[in-house]
Chain A
C-alpha cells in the first residue's frame, strides 16, 4: 500500500509539473511582447525594456523556463504588475472569501444531494424520482450568475434577511464576514448539487440490486439500516469521486458568483487581472488553483483506501 501511495504521489507531482509548464507556455502565447501588452499604449521603450528584464523576458527561453520552475517551487509566483506586490501576498489577501465560499458550497451541495439522491434511488420510478431527475437537469442548465442575481433580489432585497453584496465593512469580524458568504454559497451549492444527486442516485441503484442487500433484508434488518449502512457505504466511492470533480466546477462557479455578490476573492482578482493584463497574477492564480485541484483529487484517491477495505493496490 505504501508503494501505491508513493506511486500516486509521484503521479501527482508529475501532473503539477505539467501544469506549471502549461502555464508557462500559456503566458507566452500572447501575440507580440507581453511587457508591451501589460504596460499599455502609453509606455515608453525604456519602461518596456525595464519590465522585460524584471520579468526575465530578455533571457533565452530555456533559462526563463528553468528560472520560472525554480522560483515557483520556492513559493515565489512573481510580482503583480498592478499591485506591485508579490503575487503570493496578493493571492493570500484574497483567499479567505474564495476558500470559505468553496467549502460552504460543497457542504450545501452534499447536504442537498445525498438525501435526495438516496431517496430518489430508493423510490426508483416514482413521481419523486422523476421530479428529482428533471429538477437536477434543469438546475445544471441554469447559469449560476443568473440564479445568483435572482436569489440576491428575492431573498436579500425583498426580505432583508441576509447581506446581499460585498464582504462587510473593514472592521467586520470573521463571523460577520462569513454571513456575506451564505447567500452565494446557497446559490453555488444548489447549482452544483445536481451532478452529485445524479451520481448518488446511480451509485445507490447499482448497490441496492446487489445480493448482500437482499441478504441483509432477508435477515430482517430494518430498511433504514439496510439503505443507510449497507448500501450507502458501498455506494460511496463514485460519490466521493464526483464530489472531488465538483471542486473544479465550484471554483469556476466562484469566479462568476464572486462578481455577482461583489466578493473580494480570487475570482474577482483574476477577472480584474485579465482586464488589466496583469499576467503574473493570472499565472499565479492558475498555478495555485490547478495545483490545489490535483492535490484534492490525490487526497480523494487516498480516501478510497480508508472507505473501502477492498481497494488494495
Chain B
C-alpha cells in the first residue's frame, strides 16, 4: 500500500476511535449537538419579539411575527460552527496528555492521522448539529425560498467553514497546556466573534467602532452569504470573502497544528 492509502486507513482508524469515545460519553456529544438548538430557541422566544420589533421599526416596515426567525437562522448556524471549535480543542488537549498518544508516536503510522481523526469526527458532529438547527428552525416557522442548488451551496459552505474552524480549534488545543486552558482559548472564536457580527442584529445598529469590526471580521461574510443563499438577500463580494477566509483560516490552522504536533511532547 502507498503512503497515502496508509494515511487514509490510519485516519479512518483514528476516526473510529474518536466516534467510539463520543458514543461512550454521549453527554458531551449531546450537549455539543443540542447546544445551538437551545440558542435558537432562546433568541427566538426570549429576545425575538423585542429585537424583531426594533429591526422592523429601524427598517421602516411594520413588524410581523416570525420575521426575526428568518434573520436569526444563518446567525445561529454560524454560532453552531464556531462553538464546534470548543469540543475539538478540549478533546485534542486531553488526548495529548494521554499515554496512548505517546504510544501512537512510537508506532509506524501516519502521524497526521491522530489529528485528522479528531478533525473529521468534529466536522461530522458539528454538521449534525447544524442539520438539527435547520430542522428545528423549519419546525418553528423558518421559511427559505432557496433552490436545491442554493441549499447544496449553503451545506458546502457550512462544511468548509466548519473544517476551517475545527483546524483552528485543534491548534488551540495543542497549544494549551490544560483542557481548561483550551476551553478558554477558544472562547473568542466560539462566543465573542459570533456576537460581534451580523448574527443577531444588523451591523448598522451597533456603535461605530463595533460596527466597523463586525463588518470586516470573517464570520460576517459567512453569515451574509448564508442569508443570501437561504433568504435571497444580496450576497455581493461576501461569497468570495467567506470562502477566502475559510481557506486562510483552515490552512493556517492546519499548518499550525501540524507544526505543534511534530514538536517533541513536553517532558512529564
Q: A and B, one complex?
A: no
